[in-house]
Amino acid sequence: MNQPDYSRYDQEQLRQIRRSIDAGRFPERVAQIEARLAELAAQPGVSAASPAATVADRPRADPASYRPAMRRAAKVMACVAAVDVAAGIWNAMHGMGSMFNIDVSSLVVMLLLAFGGLRVAVVLRWLSMVGVPMLAVSPLLAFFQPLDLTLTQLALQPSAYVINFLLPMFKSGMSLWMLYLLSDPAIQQARAFEGRKPYDMRVPLALGALLMAGYVVMFFTLMMGERGRHAEQLAAQKEGAKYRYHVNNIRVMGSNDGTFVSATVVVWNDKFVGGMDVSWKE
C-alpha cells in the first residue's frame, strides 16, 4: 500500500485518521500523524477547523488497500449464488413447483463487490446491517409448516427437506460472513484516509428490526389469511381430497389491469410430496 502524505491534511482530518488506525499494525503511521499534529500545533494561526485541502482535492484511498477485503466478500456471495441456483434446479427437477425461482440478489451483490469501489463496500455494509434481524429470523420460518408435512418429507424426501431447511440457514450464515468481511479495518481506514466519518451501525440495525417485525406480520397475514386459504382451495379443486395442502409462498403483483396473485402450494399424502403453482386475478 502506498504511504499516505499526511502533510495534505488539517488537524481534524489527522485526528480522525489516528482514531481509525490500528497502532499495532501501522505504528509508523501513528508516529507520522502525531509528528504532523505536533508540527501543526506549533504553527501560529493554524486552526483545527481550517481545511488544508478542499473537498475537490480530498485524498483518495489506494484501492489496493481495501479491494482484497471486497474480493473476499464477493467470493462469499458467489458461493451463495451458486448454491441458490443449484437448489432452484434441484427443486424444479424434483417437482417442488413448476416455476423456476432463483433469488438473484446474491448475484447482484457479488457483481457490485467484484467491480465496485469503496462507496459500494460502505453502502452494502450498511444495508447488510439492516438485514441482520431478518437473517436471524428467516431460518425459523421453516418451522411454520404443519408437523405432519415435515414428518412426511423426512420419510419420503429426506434430501429435499434437508436442502430446503438448510438453505436459509446457509444463506444467513454466509451473509453474516460477508458483513464481517466488509467490516475489515482496511475499509474503515480507507474511509478515514479520505476524511469521511464512520457510520453509526445502530441506526441500520434498528431499522432492520422494524422491517423484520413488519415482514413477520405480513408473512403470517398472507399465509394464514384469505389469500393463503384461497390458494389451497384452488389446489384442492385440481387434485381433490386425496391430498393435503399447505401454501408456502405467495406473490402479489399490482398493475393497471388489477391485482394478480400467484402461490406455490405443497401437496402431500402418506406416499407423495410435491408442489403445485396456482394463480388468480383479484
Residue at which a domain ends, from 179, 202, 224: 224
> Which pLDDT does position 52 carry in this prediction?
43
How far is residue 99's CA from residue 7's CA, in Å, rounded to a whole number? 60
Residues 161 and 150 sit within 8 Å (Cβ to Cβ): yes
Q: Is residue 1 in some structural domain?
A: no
Is it the case that residue 96 has pLDDT exceeding 60?
no
Residues 220, 231 within the same domain: no
Sheet holding 273-281: strands in order across?
244-255, 258-268, 273-281
One domain, residues 149 and 214: yes
For residues 128 and 49, membership in a common domain is answered with: no
**In a domain? residue 179:** yes
What range does the domain containing 131 cover?
67-224
Task: Judge if 105 and 212 occupy the same domain.
Answer: yes
Q: Are 78 and 158 within one domain?
A: yes
- Mind listing the pLDDT tens digit for each residue in 76-86? 999 998 988 88
Tens-place pLDDT, residues 212-271: 999 888 888 888 889 999 999 999 999 998 999 999 889 888 888 889 999 999 999 999
The model carries a pTM of 0.62
pLDDT band, very low/low/confident/very high, at 169 (cuts 50, 70, 90): confident
Does a structural domain hold residue 154? yes
- CA dist., res. 213 & res. 229, Å (int): 23
| Cell numbers at 135, concatenated | 437473517
Residue 94: the pLDDT is 64
3-state SS class at 260? strand
Instruction: Check whether 58 has a pLDDT greater than 80.
Output: no
Q: For residues 107, 140, 101 and 123, what is the CA-based torsion angle, rounded to 10 degrees?
A: -30
Residues 195 and 235 in one domain: no
Same domain, 75 and 212: yes
Residue 4 belongs to some domain of the structure = no
Number of structural domains in the chain: 3
Instruction: Check whether 210 has a pLDDT greater than 50.
Output: yes
Residue 277 clears pLDDT 50, i.e. is over it: yes
Asked whether residue 213 falls in the same domain as residue 93, the answer is: yes
Give the cell for residue 38.
505536533
Q: Which three cell numbers stand for residue 101?
A: 425461482
Q: Of 14-28, 32-46, 215-229, which range is least confident?
A: 32-46
Per-residue pLDDT reduced to its tens digit, 115-151: 999 999 999 999 999 989 988 887 677 678 888 988 8
Q: Residue 88 above 80 pLDDT?
A: no
* 73, 122: one domain: yes
3-state helix/strand/coil string of 6-73: HHHCCHHHHHHHHHHCCCCCCHHHHHHHHHHHHHHHHCCCCCCCCCCCCHHHCCCCCHHHHHHHHHHH
